[in-house]
Amino acid sequence: MTGSPSRPARRRAQCGLLAPQRWLLVPPLGRLLERAGYRDRSWSIGDRLSHGARSQVWSLRVEGEPPLVLKRHRRRGDGTGRAGREAAALRRAQAAAPSVAPPLIAADASARLLVTAAVDGVSLEWVLDAQAGAADAVAAVAMSLARLHSGTWQPEPPPSSGVLAGGAAPPADPFFALCKRAGVRPAADVEAAVRAALAEPGCAPVSALTHGDVCTDNVLVSAGSAVLLDWETAAYRDPLVDLAALLMAFATCRDARRLAPAVVDRALRSYRDVVADLPWGGATFPAALARACLRWVVDGDALVPQDNRGGPDRLAELARRDWAWGATTARQRFLTRLDLFISIADPASEFAGTRAIASELQSRLSVAWGGGALPRSAGNGNGLRPD
């Protein structure tokens, strides 16, 4: 589909053979490109790059410009809010750490449209499938996250309002209800410690811009660097939430993968090398990371796709039945997160009691559910635990 902000060009575009859903893009995209300074340029929408429940993405060509990407958020849910959040996050990331996000060219939240520069690279999903260069690729992702966090951190808790405000911490009650149903009875001090860990960010009182959805298909890697795509869930949070999601088998993603211990160890070193002099990069790092990982364990919403979040108690549902998401089931995901938290939390730390409860819960549920976590790599042991 071709067009330009001018009326004749729009008319010429509309005379072509256009997919019906693209007709409506011509006027708002033309106005957006005009505001971006492309008044007298012809443009064309090319191949569709992705097509999902929440957004559609196409290649975009503008006369005299490098390749661009057009993204339209669907109306489903709060499409306008997602577009505004993604645009704000891209601007903030570009200002603080230009190499971690595609440059934003133009955005119109009311029309749910964003135009960014195209980025070269292959998806992290492809690299992990190929089983070649995984350690380099995941280390590059960790370094990009560290640059994002170090470039945007602020010495105060996450904001409670605004376009980049983070959501509330997951509640503890559903987790303890699942423990009770499985016959696990945490001591009062352990329960209090879990509730305190969930109530307070792991890096308190520090917060930083986080991506919020570090998935294998949301990352492009190339020549030792990694660019993060799809910033619609970005927000100011505990900075270690992103790193914890990566370690917890890509906690927000359809494509759940348990990384090998050597890959994880290198990713942790890469991240800490960048943030070593920042408030959360020193001696408190292991406990803060364990706290961030614990949040993914108790977050039942992270067991379902984004469009299904914010509904019923998923951990209560998990006790009654299992369901598939991608190639894994919800119970597999939950048992894997328990197993990974046990590996990450130091048994001699403040999380000793929580770790023991997680171990007992994992053992009981594995028997009751007749299954276990995603396969453990050889030699994993406690190799996931940060030094």
| pLDDT classification of 382: cutoffs 50, 70, 90 | very low
Q: Determine the pLDDT at residue 372.
A: 85
DSSP helix/strand/coil, 329: strand
Q: Determine the pLDDT at residue 15.
A: 33
Is the pLDDT score of 386 beyond 50?
A: no
Compute how many other C-beta atoms are within 10 angstroms of the C-beta atom of residue 320: 7
Is the pLDDT score of 5 beyond 60?
A: no
User: 209 forms bridges with which residues in the sheet?
Assistant: 236
Q: What stretches of 9-96 adopt beta strand conformation (E)? A: 43-51, 55-62, 68-73
Positive/negative CA dihedral, 98, 103, 106, 110:
negative
- Please tell me the pTM assigned to this model: 0.90
CA angle at 365 for the pair 345 and 179, rounded to the nearest 5°: 70
Indicate if 122-369 has the same CATH topology as 2-117: no
Q: Determine the pLDDT at residue 3.
A: 55
One-letter amino acid of 287: A
Q: Does domain 122-369 have CATH number 3.40.5?
A: no
List the domain boundaries for the chain: 2-117, 122-369
Cβ(30)–Cβ(10) under 8 Å?
A: yes
Is the pLDDT score of 387 beyond 50?
A: no
CA angle at 130 for the pair 121 and 90, rounded to the nearest 5°: 30
Asked if the peptide bond before residue 205 counts as cis, ω within 30 degrees of 0, the response is: yes
DSSP helix/strand/coil, 309: coil
Contacts of 197 (CB under 8 A, 6+ apart): 291, 294, 295, 351, 354
DSSP helix/strand/coil, 311: coil
Instruction: Enter the tokens of residue 205.
Output: 């009182």
Is the pLDDT score of 12 beyond 80?
A: no
303-331 confidence digits (pLDDT tens): 999 888 888 999 999 999 999 999 999 99
131-140 confidence digits (pLDDT tens): 789 999 999 9
Average pLDDT, the chain: 89
217-265 confidence digits (pLDDT tens): 999 999 889 999 999 999 999 999 999 999 999 999 999 999 999 999 9
Q: Which CATH superfamily is domain 2-117 in?
A: Phosphorylase Kinase; domain 1 (3.30.200.20)
217-220: list long-range contacts, CB under 8 Å, 24+ apart. Answer: 217/123, 217/124, 217/125, 217/253, 217/255, 218/253, 219/123, 219/124, 219/141, 220/119, 220/120, 220/121, 220/122, 220/123, 220/124
Cβ(320)–Cβ(248) under 8 Å?
A: no
Strands 68-73 and 113-117: antiparallel
According to DSSP, residue 259 is labeled -
